[in-house]
Amino acid sequence: MILRELKPLDFLKPEELEAIHQAVLTVLGKAGVEFHSQEARDILKKAGARVEGEKVFFPPELVMEQVALAPSEFTLHARNPENNVVIGGDYTVYAPGYGSPYVMDYVQNKRRNATYEDYIAFTKLAGSSENFDVVGGVLVEPNDIHDNLRHAKMLHASVKYTDKCLMGSAMGAKKAQESLEMAGIVFGGIDRVRKNPALISLINTNSPLQFDPRMLGAMMVYARNNQPVIIAALAMTGTTSAVTLAGSLIQQSAEILAGIVFAQLVNPGTPVVFGSASSIVDLRTGSLAIGSPESVKMFSVIAQLARHYGVPSRGGGALTDALIPDSQSGYESMMVLMNTVLSGTNFVLHAAGLLENYMTMSYEKFINDDEMLGMIRNFSGRFPVDDDALALDTMFRVVEGGNFIADEHTFKHMKDMRNPIVSSRQNYASATELTDTAQRAHEYCKQVLQDFQSPPFDEKTEAELNKYIEELG
């Protein structure tokens, strides 16, 4: 968790932000949002929304009244209380990849289907680094685990190999309920989880202007149990939203606000995150371009809109359109990641490992992204400007005779600077061999996994989890 000491960038002028806000209310009132769930529509209708078929139309006053009920920040609880995180305010939390069905094989230089072994390995990498605050969810999609057990096995791995905050399944009410019950086993009962939220889930809209029944079912389970939900749009400019950034942002925001209103109607005060994974589309090819500057602009505005509505934001990540962990993957990912702290984004999913839009995870890219996150963590904090840091006495001593390298002040502060994990700072003469960052990351990754030690985990609790999963199968 990073405490940002930099004032967030407001990308839009106040009058531009207000124009988008008013347009969002117009869309919600005149175009409406489709809710593909009778139960959801009944809840919305009872609250005063107009329902025609599956489409729900939102009066502006209903929108603003319900959004005001959502907290501006909240605490997500981890198995180890030292790893609890605050989501909102001046904090930014990071979670690694999510949803990729493929893994890039560095040695073979081609992608393959992701497996449960990959899921465990990426979980260990995230657990080993100080730069990741939340694990779990669909870190990769393990194709070798049957769908009815996949969510449970993934959550079990996240609990066993880390003691950080967790993500739950959003693939329908049943899997959400099972995730909640597993959290109850880990945290000492569902009532305790309700009081101290321990699962955050990703509720995606279905652009344009829809929510599917699986996501709505999961959202109702989590909201009724006071678990936070990230409500995120994945609008694609020119294909599932307007081609202009402003037009796309209006649609995204309408979808997100509709979800926030619904969550508050299910349970007033439900913690929510105003999120987006949206992107422009390269209309020459039809491909997403998530590593584009235009996508970064949209993420910046999403963070600004979230502040306007008084709720935490989600956006960005180590996003790239590159197919391999090359220089393109580095400069695109750094651009998007750096923006998360500059724009004041609170929750960053996909913070490590991604290649090929959102489709592929790479071990080498994960390590390189971890390196960048360490740099960003350092950048986000101010440096001291006190008497000791001003170092006037040191300068005077050196001027009178001496040198900085041997001065006691240098020895006192020699470990203040961040040291990289894979970046090279050697000169040419001292290098034993010339390697690129992917090669160094490949070797570093193997070493981390070889040295990994799981955090302590109560044997009785693990046995109870194993029994629960067996009964699901």
What pLDDT, on a 0 to 100 scale, did the predictor assign at position 426? 86
C-alpha distances out from residue 351 to 198, 274, 319, 355, 358, Å: 20, 17, 8, 11, 11
**DSSP β-ladder status, 110-113 and 102-105:** antiparallel
Structure tokens at 37: 């769930």
- Summarised one tens digit per residue, pLDDT across range 249-275 is 999 999 999 999 999 999 999 999 999
Residue percentage of the chain with pLDDT more than 70? 100
Domain membership of residue 325 (yes or no) is: yes
Which residue range forms the structural domain that includes residue 278?
Answer: 2-12+67-380
Report the C-alpha gap between 68 and 58 in whole angstroms: 15
What pLDDT, on a 0 to 100 scale, did the predictor assign at position 101? 98
Asked if residues 171 and 151 have their Cβ atoms less than 8 Å apart, the reply is yes
Q: Answer with the residue of higher pLDDT: 429 or 34.
A: 34
CATH number of the structural domain spanning residue 332: 3.20.20.480
Report the C-alpha gap between 473 and 466 in whole angstroms: 11
What pLDDT, on a 0 to 100 scale, did the predictor assign at position 431? 84
**Which of 38-52, 153-167, 424-438 is the least confident region?**
424-438
Give the model's confidence band at 210: pLDDT under 50 very low, under 70 low, under 90 confident, else very high: very high
Give the model's confidence band at 437: pLDDT under 50 very low, under 70 low, under 90 confident, else very high: very high
What pLDDT, on a 0 to 100 scale, did the predictor assign at position 455? 97
For the chain, what is the mean pLDDT?
97
Give the model's confidence band at 139: pLDDT under 50 very low, under 70 low, under 90 confident, else very high: very high
Residues in the chain: 473
What pLDDT, on a 0 to 100 scale, did the predictor assign at position 273? 99
Report the C-alpha gap between 454 and 159 in whole angstroms: 10
Domain membership of residue 437 (yes or no) is: no
What pLDDT, on a 0 to 100 scale, did the predictor assign at position 416? 92
What pLDDT, on a 0 to 100 scale, did the predictor assign at position 384? 93
* Residue with token string 């100080």: 130
Domain membership of residue 96 (yes or no) is: yes
State pTM to two decimals. Answer: 0.96
Domain membership of residue 40 (yes or no) is: no
What is the rounded average pLDDT of the residues 111-117?
98
Asked if residues 257 and 49 have their Cβ atoms less than 8 Å apart, the reply is no
Report the C-alpha gap between 405 and 62 in whole angstroms: 65
What pLDDT, on a 0 to 100 scale, did the predictor assign at position 177? 98
Structure tokens at 3: 């405490």
Structure tokens at 342: 């500059």
Give one word for 340, left, alpha or beta, with left for phi > 0 and alpha for psi -120 to 50.
alpha
Domain membership of residue 348 (yes or no) is: yes
Q: What is the DSSP letter of 417?
A: S
Domain count, the chain: 1
What pLDDT, on a 0 to 100 scale, did the predictor assign at position 336? 98
pLDDT at 430 over 90: no
What pLDDT, on a 0 to 100 scale, did the predictor assign at position 374? 97
Contacts of 47 (CB under 8 A, 6+ apart): 62, 66, 265
Report the C-alpha gap between 47 and 265 in whole angstroms: 7
What is the rounded average pLDDT of the residues 433-444?
94
pLDDT at 402 over 90: no
Range 371-407 burial, b when 16+ CB lie within 10 A, else e: bbbbbbbeebeeeeeeeeeebeebeebbeeeeeeeeb
Domain membership of residue 61 (yes or no) is: no
Give the model's confidence band at 208: pLDDT under 50 very low, under 70 low, under 90 confident, else very high: very high
- Summarised one tens digit per residue, pLDDT across range 174-184 is 999 999 999 99
Give the model's confidence band at 3: pLDDT under 50 very low, under 70 low, under 90 confident, else very high: very high
Report the C-alpha gap between 196 and 227 in whole angstroms: 9
What pLDDT, on a 0 to 100 scale, did the predictor assign at position 432? 85
Domain membership of residue 374 (yes or no) is: yes
pLDDT at 408 over 90: yes
Q: What is the DSSP letter of 83?
A: G
pLDDT at 37 over 90: yes
- Summarised one tens digit per residue, pLDDT across range 347-365 is 999 999 999 999 999 999 9
Give the model's confidence band at 78: pLDDT under 50 very low, under 70 low, under 90 confident, else very high: very high
What pLDDT, on a 0 to 100 scale, did the predictor assign at position 205? 98
Give the model's confidence band at 473: pLDDT under 50 very low, under 70 low, under 90 confident, else very high: confident
Domain membership of residue 373 (yes or no) is: yes
- Summarised one tens digit per residue, pLDDT across range 285-344 is 999 999 999 999 999 999 999 999 999 999 999 999 999 999 999 999 999 999 999 999
